[in-house]
Amino acid sequence: MNIKELDKKYVLGTYGRGDVEFVSGDNATLTDSEGKKYIDFTSGIGVVSVGHANARVNKALCEQLSKITHTSNLYHIAPQAKAAEAIVKASGYDMACFFANSGAEANEGAIKILRKHGERDGEIKRYKVITLKHSFHGRTITTVKATGQEAMHNYFGPFPDGFVYADDIQSIEALLDDHTAGVMIELIQGEGGVEPQDKVQVQALEKLLKSKNIPLVVDEVQTGGYRTGEFTASQLYGISPEIITLAKGVGGGVPIGIVMTTLKNVLSAGDHGSTFGGNYLSSTAVCSVTEILNELKASGELEKTSTYFHSVLDGFYANNKKLFTQKVGIGMMCGLRVIDADLLARIMSNAKDNGVMVLRAGRNTLRFLPPLTITKEEIDAGFKALSTAVSTL
């Protein structure tokens, strides 16, 4: 059997896979099993932040693999401690970290911190978590319920209680009460359509929550790791959340999930755990990726790349106003609103056929999450291919 036949026979059909098998990559360029090359404007849904087959990351991983891969969190893990130090310093916040394996697990950890913090806070048990409509927080039972998209709740109930959805940032205040354990938001909704929140409204919300001693959780699974220009979008928005969750891009392709929090003493030994979380391999990846990203930020290369990507995207948008209604996003997390869902599907298909990989997101959005190391040549080649893809639509 070939790979496609094996996949169909032995793998659960939970993904609508594109008919392509990638076998290698080099920065923002992918090669499939037939030898065809593609420009990758997706970075594996915001994961491969420093590019495919990054030599520095690969070297660090290989060196670690030759020594030790896993012992469990029952013992000290040097690269885990170093990874925690690196991301805390990059964030600028006074926080401590818990390591898991995915964004959903990180958000589960954040919710557990909120619930225990709420139970410790006086006689009234605070358990309610407020999230936003159109949000996305993961695929586990709890994080599916935390996700404010009703379509994702089909089939999987009954769910854990205590989740309430606000229409927008300004609607959150009316939902606060004595049972509110915390508020969880994305500063830029990714799966919800690359929708940035208003900075002034977010800052007002933070001030209100601090006055009521209600923790704010910012889900930065997609925005973390300099995706918006700063290590966290929270820094960009000028806020200081009690909890930040990270995943995707900070691991550069190795599975990772991280909870960062100022509430350092809420969880005690035995309250939470992970067999694989932050093991030698994944935490080594975090150390290497964060070091590379810090250098890109400090040198100004990150800003130059983002500026150039947006300039080319702006030109593409201006030349195709009949297809798109709005440009959205911040930094290297951006998108174009397409006039309807059918057209978006055709753009996606044509783009792949013409050698450029793009993403879809809610609200009929063509989404771009390129590697932060993407070159000008790769940007130009990608938009040339995308222009060809839409030229017949």
Give the CATH number, domain containing residue 373.
3.90.1150.10
Tell me, yes or no, whether 131 and 107 share the same domain.
yes
Q: What is the pLDDT of residue 362?
A: 87
Considering the domain architecture, whether residues 155 and 7 belong to the same structural domain is answered as no
Mark whether 156 and 271 lie in a shared domain: yes
Q: Is 50 exposed, middle or buried (0-12, 13-18, 19+ CB in 10 A)?
A: buried
* CATH code of the domain covering residue 203: 3.40.640.10
Residue 7 in domain: yes
Residue 62 lies in a domain: no
DSSP state of 27: B
Q: What distance lies between CA 44 and its chain's CA centroid? A: 11
**Do residue 281 and residue 251 come from a single domain?**
yes
**Structural domain includes residue 63:** no
In this structure, the answer to whether residues 165 and 284 fall within a common structural domain is yes
Q: Give, in order, the Cα–Cα distances in Å from 273 to each of 16, 116, 303, 359.
A: 32, 15, 37, 33
- Residues 229 and 315 reside in one and the same domain: no
Q: Is residue 184 part of a domain?
A: yes
Residue 60 lies in a domain: no
Domain contains 159 = yes
* Same-domain check for residues 115 and 159: yes
Among residues 173, 181, 179, 234, which one has the least CA distance to residue 204?
173
Q: Give residue 188's domain range.
A: 68-298
**pLDDT of amino acid 121:** 56
In this structure, the answer to whether residues 74 and 41 fall within a common structural domain is no
- Of 249, 276, 298, the domain-final residue: 298
pLDDT at 123: 67
Dmax (CA) for the chain in angstroms is 65
pLDDT at 1: 81
Pair 104, 126 in one domain? yes
Determine the pLDDT at residue 66.
Answer: 98
Q: What are the per-10-residue average pLDDT scores of the chain (393 residues)? A: 91 91 97 97 98 98 98 97 98 98 98 91 82 96 94 90 96 97 97 94 98 97 98 98 98 98 96 97 98 98 98 97 96 97 95 97 94 98 98 89
Q: What is the pLDDT of residue 120?
A: 64
Same domain, 188 and 315: no
In a domain, 152, yes or no: yes
Q: For residue 40, is it within any domain?
A: yes
Q: Are 393 and 323 in contact (CB under 8 A)?
A: yes
